[in-house]
A and B are shown apart, each in its own frame.
Chain A
Amino acid sequence: MSAGHQGPESLHIQDTRCFLMKLSFDNIDRFCAEVDLAARDSVIDLSRLEFIEPFAIIYLGQFIRYHNRLGKRFTVRMPPVRSKSREYLARVRFWDRFNFDADTIEREGMFGFLSATSLNDIVELPKGRYVAEETAELVAGVLGRSGVKVSADAVLEVVAELSDNFAQHAEVELATLAVQYYPNLHEFAIAVGDSGLGIRESLSRNPEHAYLQGRPHHEAIEKAFEPLVSRRPEGGTGLTNVRDIVIRQAGRLRVASNDGFVYIGEGRTKRGKRAYELPGVQIDVTFPERT
């Protein structure tokens, strides 16, 4: 299956009996770093995929989208027919969202179907006047359908802040959103990502924070959590507020921007460098259910 808009398609399905792969925040950067971008036929091998969490799906999608913009096409080795991971990618319309060609999607039966526990879709967030309101309404629908026991106000405030941040700062036209309720884990996860400007570049356009240009990306991400730190003089409360909500709800927050990351959860903060430098900002927030 090919991701991109022109050229021949190629579809490879491999045997998955050897070992299975889970893609998450912790390894999706390494997975992307291992894709040979210099090769004529760059391969994204999902044939052993067993599980992919919302952050990873958004990250991988933005990786594909970013390189498509630069003219790169990929061959994607898909999970086997009837495997759960293949069905999941179909359900969230991964193929439609990230530039796979319509003929292959139809031939391979990669159509979505309904579920009560997710948005049934990776949602495109077009940069627009009401993106925060529209996104919050979508997520409110999932909260209502799934019966998840989380604070709807907390979730919707986070969703509104993250989608508004994208609209205000990313300088690209589209972001993507994935939402998933895990009934067995009693968790509700939201991931939002773009392949736009990134936090360090955005903040450093404010002369007060221009020094960040020479600092690691994770330092810029941490800076963005401080109140009133923004490229704009009036703003700078969005990520602070998201962090405060996550801490109050005993959730987890993970932010990646270029090659930096910051993790906040379980009473601690971790920061560092990732194995792959994907432009833009990719964030996920996980809320535990109330018992």
Chain B
Amino acid sequence: MGREIVIKLSQLADHTLTRTRGAEAADALRSAAAAGQASRVYLEMAADTLVTASFVDELVRQAAEMECAGGPEVVFVVDDPEMLQKFQKSVTWRQLQCRYRRPGDEAIRTLQPAS
């Protein structure tokens, strides 16, 4: 197992309302992971600003792409049930899986597409 790093969403994005901002956050995530030589990134999604489903969807999509390309594994740290619902929608829409854990809980869970 390589290095693990923890990043707060606010370190990646000032704005969290659109897919475009999600793509920028994913780029910043890639850079941070590369700089930290991380094999796993915990991305803490708690934010003071509204995080839209399109923003989440772009992060989920690009996290899956990163992993497929041999990049780091992304574990989203999510507490808010509404936010988790946005992740659930995204994996269902895209028929992907994504990893998440709740703050204070070490267990990493996998979100599967809803049937």
Contacts and interface: CB of A to CB of B under 8 A. Distances in A.
- Interface residue SS majority, chain A: helix
A157 interface: yes
Interface string A210-240: 0000000000000000011000001101101
Interface string A147-171: 0000001001100110010000000
Contact of A237 (B15, B23, B50, B53): B53
A288 B112 CA distance: 33
A157 B50 contact: yes
Contacts of A227: 93
A157 B19 CA distance: 12
Nearest to A156: B50
B50 A241 contact: no
B15 A133 contact: yes
Main secondary structure of the interface of B (DSSP, over half): helix
Given A161-B54, A241-B52, A241-B54, A132 B93 contact: no
Nearest to A153: B50
A44 interface: no
A136 interface: yes
A227 B94 CA distance: 9
Given A227-B93, A228-B94, A237 B54 contact: yes
A155 B17 CA distance: 12
A41 to B, nearest CB: 44
Interface string A97-132: 000000000000000000000000000000001101
B17 A160 contact: yes
B53 A157 contact: yes
Interface string B1-30: 000000000000001011110010000000
A52 B89 CA distance: 37
A174 B98 CA distance: 38
B99 interface: no
Nearest to B23: A234
A158 to B, nearest CB: 10
B15 A228 contact: no
A132 B50 contact: no
B61 interface: yes
Interface of B: 15, 17-20, 23, 50, 52-54, 57-58, 61, 82, 89-90, 93-94
Interface of A: 129-130, 132-133, 136, 153, 156-157, 160-161, 164, 227-228, 234-235, 237-238, 240-241, 244
Given A132-B17, A160-B17, A227-B93, 8 more contacts: A156-B17, A164-B20, A237-B19, A237-B53, A240-B93, A241-B52, A241-B53, A241-B89
